[in-house]
Amino acid sequence: MNLIFLAIIIGEIAFWIFLVGGLLLRYVWGLNKLSIILLASTPLIDIFLLIITFIDLSNGTKPHFFHGLSATYIGFSITYGHKTIKWADQWAAYKWASGERPEKKKLHGKEKVKYQWREFSRFFVCAVIILTLVGIAFFIVPFEDTFWLIYWVVNIIGTVIIWLVFGPVKSILNNK
């Protein structure tokens, strides 16, 4: 099994163990300090994956699909990790601590446009992180081995353009 693929699987499993464990510690067992430590430790998973990825490339491994996936995982985790933890915390508070049920707001008009731009901006930051990590890899490996790095650059830029068109631009056009 590929080292990076295995590291991504371990990282994803660790993230959910830290998240669910932290919420159980907080809401089921009342151990708030330990919960905070566990939830605050989730960025360590990204550091682990980042180190494994760049060690693998530095040791002469040709980049492949999973090196780009690793960069994507890290970018999403950095950009959306806090939001995911906050969302899960609200649901855990509702389910286990008599908190209020989180509401999904129906947005219309200018509110929807603002929301679409905010979400696009968040994804744009994510894309910049991914492209930065992939870009660093270009300096580590020989040019003839960069097919999968170029693949990820094209896909991320394409995704940014698609999100822009079908997110904010579409909501602006529908708002007129």
User: 106-130: per-residue pLDDT in tens?
Assistant: 899 999 999 999 999 999 999 999 9
Per the structure block, which two tokens stand in for 14?
């660790």
Low-confidence ranges of the chain (pLDDT < 50): none
The number of angstroms, rounded, from the C-alpha of 9 to the middle of its chain's C-alpha atoms is 14
Largest CA distance in the chain: 58
Written as one letter, the residue type at 66 is F
Residue 58: per-residue pLDDT: 93
| Cα–Cα distances in angstroms (integers) from residue 111 to residues 106, 117, 164, 170, in the given order | 9, 10, 17, 14
Give the separation between CA 107 and CA 97, rounded to whole angstroms.
28
**What pTM did the predictor assign?**
0.91
